[in-house]
Every structure is written in structure tokens, then in C-alpha cells.
């Protein structure tokens, strides 16, 4: 199978399409945590309880109210190979926790993978909507529609005072986690990133790596999300996050402008060197890949590099991950072998853009 064919089949909509402010905001995501009334949280479930949850939600997903929202596929995690589960993690469709504790887990995917619903993870239900660009409000409206459709057929655990009950106390209340994935090379290169991220944490937001809590930030990619779910409405949570994110966008644009004005040659040299390494290297590890891709994407956004797709950062930050590489090459690969195949995949991806330009 050619890489072009594989890209069309394997990439999610958020990896292929653009959206508002997408030179800085790669994705907007809404995740909603829910539990079924009268059932133990997954951490306390017996096999029987887990099976009951799966049956209840499976019935709810098949209801016409859900079918109006698109075509969905039910996938039992135990039926997936370890590599396939990890591919789902790398595509941000399931969490690492669900991939590891998969025995009673499932995921429901809409065909474009904008909507994914994890079942029997930390909570009975984790409804996720992920969209390209700065589209938090659109993502929330769609997640809310899924939530409403499911609630027509299952009873949620809800307290009049505390709101939706969840396994983790930090999710009690609305149960909503809103986040954006931001590409902030200007702030990193100008030395202003830490000051701004400290300010963000002081207003009740969290900053994490590309795979969420406990992961490092590589390639100047930062996930910014709300921390508080209790005592605020969903609209307030999204509004507060959007306001702070807009300020970060403004600071990032100003930093990029300053870098161009103060030392354009050095910036162009950095960007072109990274492009050259990606185009010709024979070995690339994951960390360097993201760092070089970040430079290339910055060069595209600033008009320094021509003929390269702006979506290359989103595509390759997923496709160069370990499981995706092994899926594409149909081989179990050692870390060293992955570095060689990663470099080959990147070279092939860049040639696709080059052939389209010609």
C-alpha cells in the first residue's frame, strides 16, 4: 500500500483538516465524564458489573437518537491487538489507561473519528470530541448532543448539590475537560514560554504534553485545559479557557513577528536545516522528529518554506509514533529499527508534497 493510500485510510479528520487559528491551535477537544446510576465505578467493578455497563451502553448507542449523529462502530478493546490499541492511543482516540486495562473496555467511534466514546475507563463513559483548529464551542455543542442522546437511554449518576459524580473528585460537577493543543515555537525560541505558562497555571488552567497528564512536551506542543469542573457551568469553563488561549495566540504571533524582525537569517537557517535533516536523514528518534517538524511547520506558517503541507506536523506527530510505524510497515520493530523506518517514512511523506507541487 502506498503512503498516500495509507494516509487517507489511517488519518483522523482532525489530522487532515484545518480550522480557525490552525497555525497555532492544532486541535480543540472536549471530554465529558459520566457514570451510570447505581453501578460501582470501574475501579470497584466486578466482571458482572462491567458486563452490565457494556450492555447498557451498547443498547444506548444503537438508539435512533445516536444514529442521527452519524455512523458509529462499536469496538471491544479485548478484540484489538496490543499494537492496534497503541495506535488508538497515538491517534488520541483512547487513553493509555484504557489500552492497558482493556479486558472490559470498549470504544465507540464515529466513522470520521471526530467522536470517540471510551467505556469502562476511569469512568463508565468518556465522551470525546476532537476538532481541528480553535473550535471549542463547536466541539462542546457536538459533545453535548452525544451526551443528551445517551442520557435518553441510560440514567447518569447525579447529585443535586455536586452535579455529575465521577471516579476522580477533580471531575465532579460538570465532568467536562476542555483543551486545546497549541504549537508555540515563537514563545519557546524567544524565551518567554515559561513566564506565560506560569501565568496560565495561576488562573486555574493546566499545561501538559501532547498525550495529557504525566507526559512531556516535545516539539513546542502544549496541551492547555481547565482544571476546575465544580462550581462553574460548561459555558463558563469554555469561555475562561478560550479567553486565556486567545491571549496566548496573541503573544505567540507577537513573538514570531519579533523573531522575524530581529534575526530573520538565523530563523531561516534553523528552519531550512530542520527541513534538510527531515528530507535526508536515515535515522530519527521521536523527540528529534517533533522538534524538526515544529521548525518546519513554523517555516510554513511564516511563508519561509513553500510546497509543504501545513498538515504535516499533525500527521507525522502521530504517524511517526512506535505503534503507527509498526502498523504501516507490518513489522515488529526494535527501537533502533523504528528510528530507521521513521526517517524513511518522513522522507516518503515529504516526497508526496514535492510530487503534488510538480
How high is the pLDDT of residue 357?
A: 40
Q: Quote the Cα angle for 54-55-60, to 5°.
A: 95
- 48 annotated ligand-binding residue: no
Q: Please tell me the distance from the alpha carbon of residue 121 to that of residue 127, in angstroms, as a whole number.
A: 11
pLDDT < 50 positions in the chain: 214, 357-358
Domain with CATH 3.30.590.10 in the chain: 19-251
CA distance 304 to 259: 13
30 is in an annotated binding site: yes
Annotated binding-site residue? 180:
yes
294 is in an annotated binding site: no
**What integer pLDDT is reported at residue 211 of this predicted model?**
55
Does residue 215 have a known ligand-binding role? no
Q: Is 105 annotated as a binding residue?
A: no
pTM: 0.89
| Ligand-binding site membership of 28 (annotated) | yes
CA torsion sign, 149 to 152 to 158 to 162?
positive
Question: Is there a binding annotation on residue 144?
Answer: no
CA angle 267–187–240, rounded 5-degree value? 150
- pLDDT given for residue 345 in this prediction: 92
| Cα separation, 155 vs 153, whole angstroms | 7
Topology annotation, domain 19-251:
Creatine Kinase; Chain A, domain 2 (3.30.590)
Q: Please indicate if the annotation marks 27 as binding a ligand.
A: yes
Long-range contacts of 43-50 (CB under 8 A, 24+ apart): 43/122, 43/167, 45/104, 45/120, 47/104, 50/104, 50/120
Distance CA 97, CA 120 (A): 10
133 labeled part of a ligand binding site: no
Q: 13: annotated binding-site residue?
A: no
Q: What is the pLDDT of residue 170?
A: 84
Please check if 9 is assigned to a binding site: no
At which residue does the C-alpha cell 495529557 appear?
A: 212
For cell 514560554, the residue is 193
Cα radius of gyration rounded to whole Å, the chain: 21
Amino acid at each position: 500500500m502506498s503512503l498516500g493510500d495509507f494516509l487517507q485510510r489511517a488519518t483522523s479528520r482532525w489530522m487532515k483538516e484545518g480550522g480557525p487559528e490552525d497555525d497555532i491551535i492544532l486541535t480543540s477537544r472536549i471530554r465529558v465524564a459520566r457514570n451510570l446510576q447505581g453501578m460501582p465505578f470501574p475501579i470497584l467493578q466486578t466482571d458482572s458489573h462491567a458486563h452490565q455497563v457494556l450492555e447498557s451502553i451498547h443498547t444506548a448507542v444503537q438508539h435512533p437518537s445516536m444514529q442521527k449523529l452519524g455512523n458509529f462502530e462499536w469496538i471491544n478493546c479485548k478484540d484489538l491487538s496490543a499494537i492496534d490499541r497503541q495506535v488508538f492511543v497515538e491517534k488520541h482516540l483512547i487513553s493509555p489507561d484504557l489500552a492497558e486495562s482493556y479486558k472490559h473496555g470498549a470504544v465507540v467511534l464515529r466513522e470520521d473519528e471526530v467522536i470517540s466514546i471510551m467505556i469502562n475507563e476511569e469512568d463508565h463513559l468518556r465522551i470525546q470530541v476532537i476538532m481541528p483548529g480553535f473550535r471549542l464551542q463547536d466541539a462542546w455543542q457536538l459533545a453535548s448532543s452525544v451526551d443528551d442522546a445517551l442520557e435518553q437511554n441510560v440514567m447518569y449518576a447525579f447529585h443535586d448539590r455536586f452535579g455529575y459524580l465521577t471516579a476522580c473528585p477533580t471531575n465532579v460537577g460538570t465532568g467536562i475537560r476542555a483543551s486545546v493543543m497549541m504549537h508555540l515555537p515563537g514563545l519557546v525560541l524567544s524565551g518567554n514560554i515559561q513566564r506565560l505558562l506560569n501565568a496560565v497555571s495561576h488562573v486555574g488552567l493546566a499545561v501538559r504534553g501532547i498525550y495529557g497528564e504525566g507526559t512531556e512536551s516535545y516539539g513546542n506542543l502544549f496541551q492547555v485545559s481547565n482544571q476546575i469542573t465544580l462550581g462553574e457551568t460548561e459555558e463558563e469553563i469554555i469561555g475562561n479557557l478560550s479567553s486565556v488561549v486567545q491571549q496566548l495566540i496573541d503573544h505567540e504571533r507577537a513573538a514570531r513577528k519579533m523573531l522575524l524582525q530581529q534575526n530573520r537569517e538565523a530563523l531561516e537557517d534553523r528552519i531550512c536545516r530542520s527541513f534538510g535533516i527531515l528530507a535526508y536523514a536515515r535515522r530519527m528518534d521521536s523527540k528529534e522528529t517533533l522538534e524538526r517538524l515544529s521548525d518546519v511547520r513554523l517555516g510554513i506558517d511564516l511563508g519561509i518554506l513553500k510546497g509543504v503541507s501545513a498538515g504535516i506536523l499533525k500527521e507525522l506527530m502521530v504517524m511517526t509514533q512506535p505503534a503507527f510505524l509498526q502498523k504501516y510497515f507490518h513489522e515488529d520493530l526494535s527501537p533502533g529499527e523504528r528510528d530507521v523506518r521513521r526517517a524513511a517514512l518522513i522522507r516518503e511523506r515529504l516526497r508526496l508534497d514535492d510530487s503534488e507541487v510538480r
